[in-house]
């Protein structure tokens, strides 16, 4: 079989490649880019072709914007060779552009045009765009409030957790007293403190800061501690024979050696503090994205909820990206770290 | 003599080797309540600038003796003195190179070598010494590399530079070449001898390789099984560089292996 089909394939394949080799190459190189452009044209046309079933003001602009994106994608694909790194970036992301275009087209058709999905609960893309353009000031205020609260609580929690972890890992006496407390209180979800915190703290803002710090502090403490505790004695021996004092052993041996663990703790703390932030904002704080979500739900403004969710996910993802960037910078000496 | 000649042209911070007196040292470990003796009444007197190899079966307590000399542990009985000063804690005049390079993975090669000077708070004024030490082991072009980028031999050379930058008066080598491949090992043995000849420090080398001991040291001390006692103290009066096939050394090697209970095979 192999001999026969091989010669057969060669015989029939040879003239085809000699007839239009550039076509095959062109399809392989630019096919997906062109497809992306087609998908976005479809999205644009789906906006402009049919009448909306509801009353949305941004349908026309969205359709035009989709066509512009399609044009840019097409131009970028055709002129890829002349665009350098931007061209290559477009090339690697083209499959995602296709998927996004198809998804948006389906979404547009299923909601705004034929209402296959029940309407107030599944708003069309243009209504979310409308939120970003028309409700921008309130949304920005919420973003600002959330970032401020999260940043304050996280920094306090991370700092205290780090210092506590180093102290427990280094000093037996501190470990004796702090470890039982940590075991007792640490595993408690920070949100369980919510009712008490809102009573005992002078303001809901300080109560939320405390809760976020608590949620961050526990994983940071435990992982810093385990990081310091797992530093090989050989490092201390080397440093001591070279004349290191105890302060040098802590600052220049224990802490740098424990940093990979510390970053795992910071990452976990970030995740659990997001959860606390949203809950705190929904229940007590009268600002922030959690509050915005709650408020939008009260008005049955579903588009606003989706809009806020998208912003929230961008912020959380951005925060983790930032943390990983800092880690990659500090831990360049590590091989094979996970790329976020 | 070679050491003295090198010293005359060495920079001012260089110091000659120190004398080391180990007097009736005994040591033991507590393992689950039971006492495990590792050193039994060991007395060794090392002249300044001598290269002494400590040879013995593995696990006999040689490395423990080195930790006592370094000041990392305190002996149960007896005393150790560096130039008549009792050793009670680590001091940068006695630096150890361990079997594993134990470079700090978060520091570049240069920063690893700078460790001792930094710990002593004199790095700012004496950065040149770090560059010199890297030159000495031939790794100047790797100053910015991280330990994971180095081969085993290179890492051990960095560890050597990290020790030498402190201008130790006693260099303590705990099987530093044990894990290297045989070619790298032979090269580094030659480098060690030439460094010792140039710098004139007293050297204490733990090894379980009789040939290595004979090629490097001018005195070989053979230990018994645990608890380690001094079984023989052999002078090796041969000029450097020594040849591995030297019949005189081969004869000594046979004697030493006999002391270690391996005469039947040789």
**Per-residue pLDDT, A114:** 87
Given a cut of 60, whether residue A150 has pLDDT beyond it is yes
User: Is residue A293 one of the residues assigned to a domain?
Assistant: yes
Nearest Cα of chain A lies from the Cα of B159 at a distance, in angstroms, of 10
User: Is residue B134 one of the residues assigned to a domain?
Assistant: no
Same domain assignment for residues A82 and A150: no
User: Is residue A124 one of the residues assigned to a domain?
Assistant: no
Same domain assignment for residues A142 and A111: no
How far apart (Å, rounded) are the C-alpha atoms in residues B238 and B233? 16
Last residue of a domain, one of A91, A119, A147: A119
- Residue B238: phi and psi, rounded to 5, are -130, 145
Domain count of the fold of chain A: 2
B162 in contact with A, Cβ within 8 Å: yes
Given a cut of 90, whether residue B247 has pLDDT beyond it is no
Given a cut of 50, whether residue B240 has pLDDT beyond it is yes
Same domain assignment for residues A292 and A177: yes
**Per-residue pLDDT, B14:** 44
Instruction: Domain of residue B31: give its range.
Output: 2-103+168-265
Same domain assignment for residues A27 and A174: no
How far apart (Å, rounded) are the C-alpha atoms in residues A235 and B240? 34
Within 8 A of A245 by CB-CB distance, chain B residues are 119
Mind listing the pLDDT tens digit for each residue in B84-103?
A: 888 888 998 899 998 888 99
**Per-residue pLDDT, A340:** 60
User: Is residue A318 one of the residues assigned to a domain?
Assistant: yes
Taking residues B165-169, report their average pLDDT: 89
Last residue of a domain, one of A119, A149, A178: A119
Q: Which of A242, A259, A335 sits opposite B119 (nearest CB)?
A: A242
User: Is residue A80 one of the residues assigned to a domain?
Assistant: yes
Q: Which of B91, B106, B120 sits opposite A333 (nearest CB)?
A: B106
Mind listing the pLDDT tens digit for each residue in B67-90?
A: 999 999 888 888 898 888 888 889
Q: Please report, for the domain that includes residue A215, its CATH number.
A: 1.10.3720.10
Nearest Cα of chain B lies from the Cα of A326 at a distance, in angstroms, of 15
ipTM of this predicted structure: 0.85
Helix (H) or strand (E) holding A171: none
User: Is residue A181 one of the residues assigned to a domain?
Assistant: yes
Contact A243 B91 (CB under 8 A): yes
**Per-residue pLDDT, A19:** 63
Last residue of a domain, one of A93, A119, A145: A119
Chain A / chain B CB contacts < 8 angstroms: 68
Taking residues A326-335, report their average pLDDT: 85
User: Is residue B116 one of the residues assigned to a domain?
Assistant: no
User: Is residue B148 one of the residues assigned to a domain?
Assistant: no
**Per-residue pLDDT, A145:** 92
A232 in contact with B, Cβ within 8 Å: yes
DSSP class per residue in A259-295? HHHHHHHHHHHHHHHHHHHHHHHHHT-SSSHHHHHHH
User: Is residue A338 one of the residues assigned to a domain?
Assistant: no
Output B243-249 pairs: Cβ under 8 A, ≥24 positions apart.
Answer: B244/B211, B244/B215, B249/B211, B249/B214, B249/B215
Contact A234 B166 (CB under 8 A): no
Instruction: Domain of residue A45: give its range.
Output: 2-119
User: Is residue B142 one of the residues assigned to a domain?
Assistant: no
Same domain assignment for residues A253 and A293: yes
Same domain assignment for residues A155 and A115: no
Same domain assignment for residues A97 and A174: no
Same domain assignment for residues A35 and A147: no
Same domain assignment for residues A78 and A143: no
Provide the token pair at A183.
């075991």
Mind listing the pLDDT tens digit for each residue in A25-54?
A: 888 888 899 999 999 999 999 999 888 888
How far apart (Å, rounded) are the C-alpha atoms in residues B138 and B154? 9
User: Is residue A69 one of the residues assigned to a domain?
Assistant: yes
Instruction: Give start and end residues of each alpha helix (H) in chain A.
Output: 2-19, 21-49, 59-78, 85-108, 125-134, 136-170, 172-185, 194-200, 204-229, 233-241, 246-248, 255-283, 289-298, 302-330
Q: Please report, for the domain that includes residue B261, its CATH number.
A: 3.40.50.300
Within 8 A of B204 by CB-CB distance, chain A residues are none
Domain count of the fold of chain B: 1
Check: CB of residue B217 under 8 Å from CB of residue B190.
no
**Per-residue pLDDT, A80:** 83
B266 in contact with A, Cβ within 8 Å: no
User: In angstroms, what CA-CA distances link B133 with A337, B102, B152?
Assistant: 32, 18, 18
Contact B105 A334 (CB under 8 A): yes
User: Is residue B25 one of the residues assigned to a domain?
Assistant: yes
Check: CB of residue A164 under 8 Å from CB of residue A227.
no
Same domain assignment for residues A156 and A98: no
User: Is residue A242 one of the residues assigned to a domain?
Assistant: yes
Mind listing the pLDDT tens digit for each residue in A92-142?
A: 899 999 999 999 999 999 998 888 998 788 999 988 888 898 888 998 999
What beta strand segments (E) does B165-266 contain? 170-174, 202-207, 219-223, 230-235
Q: Which of residues 42-81 of A touch B (CB under 8 A)?
A: none
User: Is residue B125 one of the residues assigned to a domain?
Assistant: no
């Amino acid at each position: 079989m192999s001999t026969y089909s091989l010669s057969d394939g060669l015989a029939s394949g040879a003239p085809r490649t000699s007839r239009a080799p550039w076509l095959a190459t062109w399809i392989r190189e630019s096919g997906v880019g062109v497809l992306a452009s087609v998908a976005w044209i479809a999205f644009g046309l789906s906006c402009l072709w049919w009448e909306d079933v509801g009353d949305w003001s941004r349908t026309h602009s969205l359709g035009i914007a989709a066509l512009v994106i399609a044009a840019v994608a097409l131009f970028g694909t055709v002129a890829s060779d002349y665009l350098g790194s931007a061209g290559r970036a477009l090339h690697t992301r083209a499959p995602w552009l296709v998927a996004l275009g198809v998804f948006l087209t389906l979404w547009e058709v299923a909601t705004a045009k034929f209402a296959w999905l029940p309407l107030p609960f599944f708003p069309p893309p243009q209504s979310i765009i409308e939120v970003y353009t028309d409700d921008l000031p309130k949304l920005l205020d919420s973003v600002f409030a959330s970032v401020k609260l999260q940043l304050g609580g996280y920094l306090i929690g991370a700092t205290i957790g780090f210092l506590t972890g180093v102290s427990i890992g280094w000093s037996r006496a501190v470990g004796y007293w702090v470890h039982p407390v940590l075991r007792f209180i640490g595993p408690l979800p920070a949100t369980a403190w919510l009712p008490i915190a809102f009573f005992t703290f002078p303001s809901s803002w300080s109560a939320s800061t405390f809760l976020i710090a608590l949620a961050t502090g526990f994983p940071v403490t435990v992982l810093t501690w385990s990081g310091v505790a797992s530093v090989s004695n050989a490092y201390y021996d080397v440093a001591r024979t070279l004349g290191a004092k105890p302060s040098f052993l802590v600052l220049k041996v224990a802490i740098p050696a424990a940093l990979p663990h510390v970053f795992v703790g910071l990452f976990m703390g970030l995740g659990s503090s997001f959860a606390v932030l949203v809950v705190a904002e929904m229940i007590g704080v009268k600002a922030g994205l959690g509050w915005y979500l709650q408020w939008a739900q009260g008005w049955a403004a579903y588009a606003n909820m989706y809009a806020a969710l998208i912003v929230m996910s961008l912020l959380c993802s951005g925060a983790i990206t930032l943390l990983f960037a800092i880690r990659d910078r500090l831990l360049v000496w590590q091989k094979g770290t996970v790329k976020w | 003599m070679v050491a003295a000649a090198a010293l005359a042209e060495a920079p001012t911070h260089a110091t000659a080797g120190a004398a080391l007196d180990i007097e009736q040292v005994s040591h033991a470990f507590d393992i689950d309540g039971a006492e495990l003796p590792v050193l039994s009444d060991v007395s060794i007197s090392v002249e300044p600038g001598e290269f002494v190899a400590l040879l013995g079966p593995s696990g006999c307590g040689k490395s423990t003796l080195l930790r006592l000399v370094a000041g990392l542990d305190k002996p149960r009985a007896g005393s150790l003195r560096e130039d008549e000063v009792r050793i009670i804690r680590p001091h940068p005049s006695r630096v150890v190179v361990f079997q594993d390079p134990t470079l700090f993975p978060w520091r570049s090669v240069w920063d690893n070598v700078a460790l001792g000077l930094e710990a002593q708070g004199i790095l700012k004024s004496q950065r040149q010494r770090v560059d010199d030490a890297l030159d000495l082991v031939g790794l100047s072009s790797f100053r910015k590399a991280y330990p994971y980028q180095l081969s085993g031999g290179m890492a051990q050379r960095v560890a050597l530079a990290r020790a030498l930058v402190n201008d130790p008066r006693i260099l303590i080598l705990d099987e530093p070449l044990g894990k290297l491949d045989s070619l790298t090992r032979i090269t580094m043995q030659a480098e060690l001898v030439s460094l010792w000849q140039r710098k004139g420090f007293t050297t204490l080398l733990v090894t379980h390789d009789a040939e290595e001991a004979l090629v490097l040291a001018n005195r070989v001390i053979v230990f018994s099984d645990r608890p380690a006692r001094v079984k023989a103290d052999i002078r090796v009066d041969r000029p450097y560089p020594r040849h591995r096939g030297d019949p005189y050394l081969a004869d000594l090697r046979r004697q030493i292996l006999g002391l270690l209970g391996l005469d039947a095979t040789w």
